[in-house]
């Protein structure tokens, strides 16, 4: 007798800590999955949700609060009771406290009860993950019997390593279901499918469903990109990236095992479109979840602020983005004209607030203390800090979050003013090197992201992209006065940061030793600034913050 199974995959957003709202959303999507099969021969049997979807991921130390644990348990029981209506069972990620141990779990809710629980065995403890300091490791899990089918339920990291899946297959699992909270990183979507989970299928000979969430959570952003692999490792379903999505999958048993009826294979964005969408979604969720009415930012006529304004407009809509030009005596007419043109192209309002009166006031205030001292970078930083104070005043008065616009190349070497242009609540460019900024600017002028709310067509004047970068804090200033050309600087930084190479290693790639030594020194001494920088979108696997944790006080040099 042929057995059949209908499994729904709910690729959802979340809100960390909003237990009742997360539970309500899952019940709503369960209803959608049930209704989607109305009138068909069979109704949906099971709906899957991402890892820790009930509590939000990552909830970090929130999960250690006893009241949080109690409410999570209450909501899980409430959801379980809802399944007494004869509709689809639910596979829900949450937490479980047993004695002194806290576990990362998935619970099968069926027939009005918690029918089964499986605990995460492999706890990631690298990069952004700190699960070993929070959770206890569960035992190697056995399969769960459901509607006469043995389901293997590796939870995220359990599927990234081979042991759990092999154990499940040996114990008789017929289908693997891996629910994940897998943050976006460059090239990670293809690696998940083609390398990691294709390997699990090859090792076990079992078909596999991989489910991931979408949405931003502080510095992390989740891209979705869920999929189904048949027993040969071929993708038979691919869910979209960056969007919530419900996918109904139809399964039936064959003499050689379970097969899934093929469905839509959604195309996933290539570079740099995926980077841009990551920034858009992470900023949107940060602003909206924290209930800001919009954002405000300084629009200088330079490329960093221009692309940040474009990202903000695509994330929130142009009407929620307020741009401000803050000219000084060193601001060129070209910058004024380009800022105005850029704001018009994006569709954002632009205010102009000259800072000369404040600069002159500071000059007068400090004239006694600075007597007999030469003008230097101090006066440049005063200008930047006046701009920061002005933008923060607008933020306080109108409630808009201040968006900061420094890129990773600048932050790596400290080419930013603490309490000045570093002031703000979020930075979408935090993990983007300068050459990435150029790439996404050119891409956005030729394309609009599928999730974008901004205008169609170009949004950045071409002259902003082609003009030499400058902070315009002194006459005829250029970034190249203080830094190597950005292609050179980014290559050196990529070696020192992303690859953790020594000075000798980077020099061996063809770079000048004195320049590499200088860049390494600047990288280390700027750590104190980065510790005080706002959060921003994580793009790679060595972002400043949770991925790369260096001491501020550090005498080591590699060359």
Active site residue 529: no
**Per-residue pLDDT, 15:** 95
Q: Are 304 and 415 in contact (CB under 8 A)?
A: no
pLDDT class of 482 with cuts at 50, 70, 90: confident
What mean pLDDT do residues 292-312 have? Answer: 97
Q: Does the pLDDT at position 1 exceed 70?
A: no
Catalytic residue among 156, 225, 260, 308: 156
d(CA 12, CA 478): 45
Radius of gyration of the CA atoms of the chain, in A: 26
**Per-residue pLDDT, 6:** 95
Q: Give 375's contacts (C-beta < 8 A, 6+ positions apart).
A: none
Q: How far is CA 197 from CA 106, 127, 170, 190, 230, in A?
A: 19, 20, 17, 10, 11
d(CA 211, CA 12): 10
Segment 95-108, tens digit of pLDDT: 999 999 999 999 99
pLDDT class of 473 with cuts at 50, 70, 90: low
Q: Are 212 and 182 in contact (CB under 8 A)?
A: yes
pLDDT class of 42 with cuts at 50, 70, 90: low
**427's tokens:** 């930075």
pLDDT class of 129 with cuts at 50, 70, 90: confident
Distance of CA 523 to the CA centre of its chain: 24
Express the helix, strand and coil content of the chain in percent, nearest 5 each.
40, 20, 40
Q: What residue ranges do the domains of the chain occupy? A: 4-258, 273-479
Q: Give the CA count within 13 Å in the CB-facing half-sphere of 346.
A: 34
Segment 134-168, tens digit of pLDDT: 999 999 999 999 999 999 999 999 999 999 999 99
What mean pLDDT do residues 338-359 have? Answer: 96
**Per-residue pLDDT, 472:** 61
**Per-residue pLDDT, 379:** 87
**Per-residue pLDDT, 37:** 61
Strands, DSSP E only, in 350-504?
Answer: 350-352, 401-402
How do 295-298 and 321-325 pair as beta strands? parallel
Catalytic residue among 120, 430, 448, 538: 120
Q: Please choose, from the candidates 293, 283, 264, the residue with its C-alpha nearest in 3D space to the C-alpha of residue 452.
A: 283
Local structure of residue 98 (DSSP, 8 states):
E
Q: Does the pLDDT at position 467 exceed 60?
A: yes
d(CA 356, CA 336): 15
Active site residue 51: yes
Q: Are 62 and 8 in contact (CB under 8 A)?
A: no
Q: Are 108 and 116 in contact (CB under 8 A)?
A: yes
**H-helix or E-strand spanning residue 4:** strand 4-11
pLDDT class of 423 with cuts at 50, 70, 90: very high
Q: What is the DSSP string of 381-409?
A: HHHHHHHHHHHHHHHHHH-PEEBP---HH
**Per-residue pLDDT, 39:** 46
> Residues 195-210, buried b or exposed e (16+ Cβ, 10 A)?
ebbbbbbeebebbbbb
d(CA 147, CA 43): 13
Q: Does the pLDDT at position 309 exceed 90?
A: yes
Is the bond preceding residue 58 a cis peptide, omega within 30 degrees? yes
**Per-residue pLDDT, 125:** 86
Span of 46-55, 100-109, 122-131 with lowest mean pLDDT: 122-131
d(CA 80, CA 108): 8
Residue matched to tokens 């990670």: 188
**304's tokens:** 């960093």
Query: Over the chain, what is the mean pLDDT?
Result: 93
Segment 159-214, tens digit of pLDDT: 999 999 999 999 999 999 999 999 999 989 889 998 999 999 999 999 999 999 99
Local structure of residue 193 (DSSP, 8 states):
I
Q: Does the pLDDT at position 477 exceed 90?
A: no
Active site residue 156: yes
Q: Does the pLDDT at position 471 exceed 70?
A: no
Neighbours of 122 (CB within 10 A): 20
What mean pLDDT do residues 20-31 have? Answer: 96
Q: Does the pLDDT at position 118 exceed 70?
A: yes
Catalytic residue among 44, 51, 122, 174: 51
**Per-residue pLDDT, 559:** 80
Give the phi and the psi of residue 129 in degrees, each rounded to 5.
Answer: -100, 135
Q: Please choose, from the candidates 295, 252, 545, 552, the residue with its C-alpha nearest in 3D space to the C-alpha of residue 403.
A: 295
Q: Does the pLDDT at position 357 exceed 70?
A: yes
CATH number belonging to the domain at 273-479, selected among 2.60.40.650, 3.20.10.10, 3.40.50.2000, 3.40.50.620:
3.40.50.620
List Cβ<8 Å contacts ≥24 apart for 197-203. Answer: 197/159, 197/227, 197/229, 198/229, 198/233, 199/162, 200/154, 200/159, 200/162, 200/165, 200/176, 201/176, 201/229, 201/230, 201/231, 201/232, 201/233, 202/233, 203/162, 203/165, 203/166, 203/169
**Per-residue pLDDT, 2:** 60
Topology, domain 4-258: Nitrilase/N-carbamoyl-D-aminoacid amidohydrolase (3.60.110)
Q: Are 172 and 150 in contact (CB under 8 A)?
A: yes
Q: How far is CA 544 from CA 194, 412, 498, in A?
A: 28, 9, 11
d(CA 382, CA 367): 13
Torsion of CA 470, 471, 474, 479, to 10 degrees: -50
């Amino acid at each position: 007798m042929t057995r059949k199974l209908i499994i729904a995959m709910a690729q959802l957003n979340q809100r960390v800590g909003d237990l009742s709202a997360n539970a309500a959303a899952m019940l709503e999507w369960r209803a959608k999955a049930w209704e989607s099969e109305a009138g068909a021969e069979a109704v949906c049997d099971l709906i899957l949700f991402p890892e820790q979807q009930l509590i939000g991921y990552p909830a970090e130390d929130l999960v250690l609060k006893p009241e949080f644990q109690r409410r999570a348990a209450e909501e899980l029981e409430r959801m379980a009771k809802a399944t007494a209506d004869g509709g689809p069972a639910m596979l829900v990620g949450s937490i479980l406290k047993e004695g002194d141990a806290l576990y990362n779990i998935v619970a099968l809710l069926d027939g009005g009860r918690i029918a089964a629980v499986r605990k995460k065995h492999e706890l990631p403890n690298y990069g952004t993950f700190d699960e070993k300091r929070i959770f206890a490791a569960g035992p190697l899990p056995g399969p769960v019997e459901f509607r006469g089918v043995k389901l293997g339920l590796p939870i995220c990291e359990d599927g990234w390593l081979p042991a759990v899946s092999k154990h499940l297959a040996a114990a008789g699992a017929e289908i693997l279901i891996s629910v994940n909270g897998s943050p976006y990183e460059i090239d990670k979507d293809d690696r998940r499918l083609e390398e990691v989970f294709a390997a699990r299928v090859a090792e076990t000979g079992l078909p596999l469903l991989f489910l991931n969430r979408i949405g931003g959570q502080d510095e992390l952003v989740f891209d979705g990109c869920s999929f189904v692999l048949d027993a040969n490792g071929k993708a038979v379903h691919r869910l979209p990236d960056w969007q919530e999505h419900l996918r109904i999958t139809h399964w039936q048993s064959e003499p050689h095992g379970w097969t899934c009826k093929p469905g839509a294979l959604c195309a996933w964005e290539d570079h740099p479109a995926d980077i841009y969408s990551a920034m858009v979604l992470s900023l949107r969720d940060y602003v909206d979840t924290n209930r800001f009415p919009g954002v405000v930012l300084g629009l200088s006529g330079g490329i960093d602020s221009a692309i940040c304004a474009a990202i903000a407009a695509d994330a929130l809509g142009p009407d929620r983005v307020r741009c401000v030009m803050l000219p000084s005596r060193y601001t060129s007419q070209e910058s004024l004209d380009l800022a105005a043109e850029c704001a018009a192209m994006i569709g954002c309002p632009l205010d102009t607030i000259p800072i000369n009166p404040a600069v002159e006031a500071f000059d007068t205030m400090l004239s006694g203390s600075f007597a007999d001292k030469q003008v230097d970078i101090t006066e440049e930083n005063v200008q930047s800090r006046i701009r920061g104070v002005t933008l923060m005043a607008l933020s306080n008065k109108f409630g808009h979050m201040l968006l900061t616009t420094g890129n990773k190349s600048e932050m790596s070497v400290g080419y930013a003013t603490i309490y000045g242009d570093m002031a703000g609540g979020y930075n979408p460019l935090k993990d983007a090197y300068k050459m990435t900024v150029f790439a996404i600017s050119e891409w956005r002028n030729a394309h609009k992201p599928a999730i974008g709310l901004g205008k169609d067509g170009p949004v950045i004047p071409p002259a902003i992209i082609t003009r030499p970068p400058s902070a315009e804090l002194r006459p005829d200033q250029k970034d190249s006065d203080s830094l190597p050309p950005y292609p050179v600087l980014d290559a050196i930084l990529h070696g020192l940061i992303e690859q953790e190479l020594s000075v000798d290693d980077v020099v061996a790639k063809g770079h000048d030793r004195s320049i590499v030594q200088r860049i390494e020194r600047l990288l280390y001494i700027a750590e104190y600034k980065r510790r005080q920088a706002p959060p921003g979108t994580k793009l790679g696997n060595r972002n400043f913050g949770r991925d790369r944790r260096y001491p501020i006080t550090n005498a080591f040099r590699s060359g």
